[in-house]
Copies of this chain bind each other. A is one copy, B any other.
Amino acid sequence: MIKRTKDAPDRRVARTQMALRDALHSLVREKDYDDIAVKEILDRADIGRSAFYSHFRDKDDLLASTIHDIIGPVRFAKRESGGSQSDKLLWFSLPIFEHHDGHRWTSPLKMGPRARAILHERLRKILVGLIGQQVKKSRREKRGESGTIPTAVLVEYLASTFILVLEWWLETRSPLSADQANHLFRSLVQSTLTANGL
């Protein structure tokens, strides 16, 4: 009998990874990302060296994995099946904003250029995958009506714009509510979408 739908991870794995991420988070708040030694992370997390390297290739890999803290909620949010065309396309947005509303998370933008680049890149890739599916599906359904912009570009555009808004929202500790931030994002891309039959 193989494990079913719920791929329940070993408690030990979850614990170790969380400890390491938490340690990194707290360190990042104290000093620049590039000045943080792996050893410091290990000490603060109270985790052995070998455990670290059995999960992550290096410090950057650990940082990149914290992406899960950002997009994690999407996995649990029920995919909106109803709503308009763009509702289906941009369903991922609101859950993310909501989860980070009043969140302790230190914005990637406060981590110095290196860290920011790593997180930005990783987040972009994930979003592209996420949005790509939706866009392709929508375009398939509305074959013929599609605009002239290539799908790949459209996807990148949506991902980048979303990240832009998210980062701005986090960095400036904007008084906007999650709802409002979500709406802001939609406003930005709405006309482009409709102009392209989405």
A47–B48 alpha-carbon span in the complex (Å) = 19
Chain B residues whose C-beta falls within 8 Å of the C-beta of A47 in the assembled complex: 11
> How would residues 45 to 65 of chain A score, 1 for a CB under 8 Å from any chain B CB and 0 otherwise?
011100000000000000000
Copies in the complex: 2
Q: Please count how many residues in chain A sit with their CB below 8 Å of the partner chain's CB atoms.
A: 5
Chain B residues whose C-beta falls within 8 Å of the C-beta of A48 in the assembled complex: 11
A15: CB under 8 A from chain B? yes
Q: What is the minimal beta-carbon distance from A7 to any residue of chain B, in angstroms? A: 18
**Is the contact region of chain A dominated by helix, strand, or loop, or is it mixed?**
loop
> How would residues 79 to 96 of chain A score, 1 for a CB under 8 Å from any chain B CB and 0 otherwise?
000000000000000000
Chain B residues whose C-beta falls within 8 Å of the C-beta of A46 in the assembled complex: 11, 15
A65–B48 alpha-carbon span in the complex (Å) = 26
Q: What is the minimal beta-carbon distance from A48 to any residue of chain B, in angstroms? A: 7
Chain B residues whose C-beta falls within 8 Å of the C-beta of A15 in the assembled complex: 46
Q: What is the minimal beta-carbon distance from A20 to any residue of chain B, in angstroms? A: 14
Chain B residues whose C-beta falls within 8 Å of the C-beta of A11 in the assembled complex: 46-48
Closest residue on chain B to residue A48 by CB atoms: B11
Q: What is the minimal beta-carbon distance from A19 to any residue of chain B, in angstroms? A: 9
4 pairs from A and B in contact (CB 8 Å cutoff): A11-B46, A11-B47, A11-B48, A15-B46
Interchain residue pairs A-B with the least CB separation, the first 4: A11-B46, A11-B48, A15-B46, A11-B47
